[in-house]
Structure 1
Amino acid sequence: MSTPETPSAPSCSQLFWVFTRIALTSFGGGLSGWLLREFVQNRKWMTQEEFLNGLSISQALPGVNVKNMAVWIGYRLLGWRGAIIGFVGIIVPPAIVIVLLEAVFSSLSGYPLTHVALTGAAAAAVGLSLSMGITAARAVPRNAIPMIIMAGTFVAVAILHWPLFWVVLVAGFVSVAYAYVKGRVDE
């Protein structure tokens, strides 16, 4: 089975502009869906498996997931320079726009159309997040243990309302232990 050819790594400026464009054209959640589409599906700079591994790491680390993901993708593609470019590209341009928009929004907040537009943008963000969740769920191995861990995490958080911190800590430990043991057995 041959592996598909992957295009050469992006230049620093290409990477910066991709992150900047994603950051400036996204609103609310769903950025991981845009990152997947851009880096895996459109540009093929990484595989879906690499992306989902990075997403898992990014979500496990403290801080903003999309910032963690941008740093990880940047590092994966261009080393320490890419990590810095990913961070700056995903954070700085939107921060500037947010300050400018705040001035405009404060003067428009009294109009009902403003709230309608924000509701529509939020719905689009939910759709992108759902798309990313479905993509990730499809990539989960169809083994009993990962499915039990996934279902158990859902039940614990969504139905039983257990504290997210403890559920993630326990489920994360069990997942890592399972992957470690499975990896050792497969060797």
Structure 2
Amino acid sequence: MQHENGVGAPAPTAWGLFLIFSRIGLTSFGGGLSGWLFREFVQDRHWMSEEEFLNGLSLSQALPGVNVKNMAIWIGYRLAGAPGAVAGFMGIIVPPAIFIVMLAAVFAAFTQYPLTNIALAGAAAAAIGLSASMAITAARRVPRRILPLAFLVTTFVTVGLLQWPLLWVVLVQAVLSVGIEYRRLMDKA
């Protein structure tokens, strides 16, 4: 069976998605999970295009809740329907949650040793690198029109530099960008 994206890769099963999301959730630390998802589903398996992935990432970040959980549900649904969405959610949440509880008990026993803090700092640095990689990939794909670039710069300045509340910036930017794009499409029609 071929996936609808036309790339030619066989369509994944819900069980296969559960295993992939479990592996990603169990082997990724801190932020940067979107980088692992991008590599897995776009670059390695070719189950979706870069544009599809970035559209899903944008939607996942705009919705309430944990971005990576939203992304797992979206990818799962996109690739295998409702069973895929459930598999994505369960895979990215359940095995890592069990592992975290066990790991917390181990780390609690070793917090007195300096190597523990060094290991955590290393994991944090890797997560920051993956997040930066995804940000650069997404920024490179912004259409080279004035309005998308203006929204990109405005969001960076208001949230990153001015430290305005993310919720209000996203709400205002979302309403403005959707309204402008809707008007642009209506003018074309």
The TM-score range, normalised by the shorter chain, is over 0.9
Residues 1:183 and 2:189 are matched in the alignment: no
> Which residue pairs with 1:60 in the alignment?
62
Which residue of 150, 153, 161 corresponds with 2:152? Answer: 150
- Separation in structure 2 between the aligned mates of residue 40 and residue 185 of structure 1, nearest angstrom: 34
With the length of structure 2 as denominator, give the TM-score of the two structures.
0.93
Give the share of equivalent positions with the same residue, in percent. Answer: 62
Instruction: Kindly provide the amino acid, as one letter, of the partner of residue 133 in structure 1.
Output: A
- Separation in structure 1 between the aligned mates of residue 18 and residue 114 of structure 2, nearest angstrom: 36
Unaligned segments of structure 2, at least 5 residues = none
Cα offset for 1:186? 4.2
Q: Which moved further from structure 2: 18-27 or 154-163?
A: 154-163
- Separation in structure 1 between the aligned mates of residue 185 and residue 24 of structure 2, nearest angstrom: 35
Instruction: Kindly provide the amino acid, as one letter, of the partner of residue 173 in structure 2.
Output: A
- 1:73 and 1:86 in contact (8 A); partners too: yes
- 1:6 and 1:46 in contact (8 A); partners too: no
Question: Which string of whole-angstrom CA distances, capped at 9 and with x for unpartnered residues, describes residues 163-183 of structure 1?
Answer: 222111111111111222233
SS of residue matched to 1:5: coil
- 1:54 and 1:69 in contact (8 A); partners too: yes
Question: Which string of whole-angstrom CA distances, capped at 9 and with x for unpartnered residues, describes residues 86-105 of structure 1?
Answer: 00000000011011111111
RMSD over aligned Cα, in angstroms?
1.3
Residues 1:173 and 2:158 are matched in the alignment: no
Residues 1:103 and 2:78 are matched in the alignment: no
Question: Which string of whole-angstrom CA distances, capped at 9 and with x for unpartnered residues, describes residues 71-113 of structure 1?
Answer: 0000001110000000000000001101111111100011000
> Which residue pairs with 2:14 in the alignment?
12
> Which residue pairs with 1:85 in the alignment?
87
Cα offset for 1:14? 1.5
Which residue of 53, 60, 64 corresponds with 1:51? Answer: 53
| Structure 1 segments (4+ residues) deviating >6 Å | none
> Which residue pairs with 2:71 in the alignment?
69
Unaligned segments of structure 1, at least 5 residues = none
- Separation in structure 2 between the aligned mates of residue 181 and residue 35 of structure 1, nearest angstrom: 33
Instruction: Kindly provide the amino acid, as one letter, of the partner of residue 117 in structure 1.
Output: A
Instruction: Kindly provide the amino acid, as one letter, of the partner of residue 32 in structure 1.
Output: S
Instruction: Kindly provide the amino acid, as one letter, of the partner of residue 47 in structure 2.
Output: W
